[in-house]
Amino acid sequence: MRVLVTGGAGFIGSALVRHLVLDKGYEVLTLDKLTYAGNLASLRAVEGRNNHSFLKADICDARAIHEAFATFRPARVMHLAAESHVDRSITGAADFVQTNVIGSFTMLEAARTYYAGLSGEEKQRFRFLHVSTDEVYGSLGDAGLFTEKSPYDPSSPYSASKAASDHLAKAWARTYGMPVVVSNCSNNYGPYHFPEKLIPLTILNAMDGKALPVYGRGTNIRDWLYVEDHARALDLIIERGRVGETYNVGGRNEVKNIDVVRRICSLLDQRLPTGTPREELIQFVTDRPGHDARYAIDATRLETELGWKAQENFETGIARTVDWYMDNEWWWQPMRKNYAGERLGLTSGNKGTG
């Protein structure tokens, strides 16, 4: 099985590549532009393997993308490449529109051309998975869950750009008969996560005794999904999911941001005691614009139709994540030399997490 993975040097993408190469034995071409969030070190576990190759390319580069299809001839395309940081999108929306909208259009067009040239069994088995986020649905109230039928209501330039790309993917399925499947996931966490996001930033700052800034009062709620569970779900969705359908992937682990930070503090206090509780490092800062109050995913379709089940709950997953960052300084230390843990992409005075 030949699989083309875009964004494969990123957080979720690298977890997927490791799963496909090491666990499934598939032949994988990882395509990544290697922006700040793409890191070849995240692919060290598959480096040098005969069933893995890497191509540095921009998904907006139509010539490079068409050539990748023509030479690699994938049976599956798993499209994860995206600008994915809400705070950065607020002050730099152009990059998000370019990569998430134009880049996805470029991928879909290249796949359409390639698909049109296939025949027989090759054409029958080809699939294109467009990987997206629960943020396209906007903010939930105190009750209820996002389902595959929830209306789109994006709040930030990031989520708006992802919503646009979702609509493009579904339109290519309906208009051109492309075998496209879409997935929308809740907040991922786990190893190899770039330390501008809530969990890795909190872990590393707490280890260093630095301030732990939290937006507002930390009451925003997220449904946390361990990244390796997500990788397994994506493989299952592209293999068994129905063409033209959407599958929501969630961990059924709703936790307030402040409780996430406190749990990390508690775990580090147990593992690296300092005599002073790390909760004292928490600092509440002005909330960011367009900050959705609550996300929570209903993964019933994925669980009942495809038989997926998360292997990690939040307690086991966050403990594994803290331990990974403690044990893998080789991966994150080079980033800390150029990025000391500040929240990126925000205006002055609004540097929180979550």
Non-local (6+) Cβ contacts of 288 within 8 A are: 86, 87, 90, 215, 346, 350, 352
**Phi, psi torsion values for 232, nearest 5 degrees:** -65, -35
Beta strands in the chain (DSSP E): 2-6, 27-32, 52-56, 76-79, 127-133, 180-185, 187-189, 212-215, 221-226, 246-249, 254-256, 282-285
Please confirm, yes or no, whether 292 is among the known catalytic residues: no
Please confirm, yes or no, whether 134 is among the known catalytic residues: yes
Q: How far is C-alpha 293 from the chain's CA centre? A: 20
Q: Across the beta sheet with 187-189, what order do the strands follow? A: 187-189, 221-226, 254-256
Radius of gyration (Cα) for the chain, nearest Å?
A: 20
- Check 58, 83, 87, 134 and give the catalytic one: 134
Q: How far is C-alpha 348 from the chain's CA centre? A: 27
- Check 114, 115, 137, 158 and give the catalytic one: 158
Nearest to 320 by CA among 226, 251, 230: 226
**Contact between 302 and 248 (Cβ < 8 Å):** yes
Four-CA torsion 161, 101, 185, 158, nearest 10 degrees: -30
**Contact between 286 and 222 (Cβ < 8 Å):** no
> What is the pairing mode between strands 254-256 and 221-226?
antiparallel
Which pair of structure tokens corresponds to residue 250?
Answer: 């969630």
- Check 83, 135, 196, 312 and give the catalytic one: 135
Q: How far is CA 146 from CA 19, 223, 295, in A?
A: 27, 11, 8
Q: Across the beta sheet with 76-79, what order do the strands follow? A: 52-56, 27-32, 2-6, 76-79, 127-133, 180-185, 246-249
Q: What amino acid occupies position 317?
A: G
Please confirm, yes or no, whether 325 is among the known catalytic residues: no
Catalytic annotation, residues: 134-135, 158
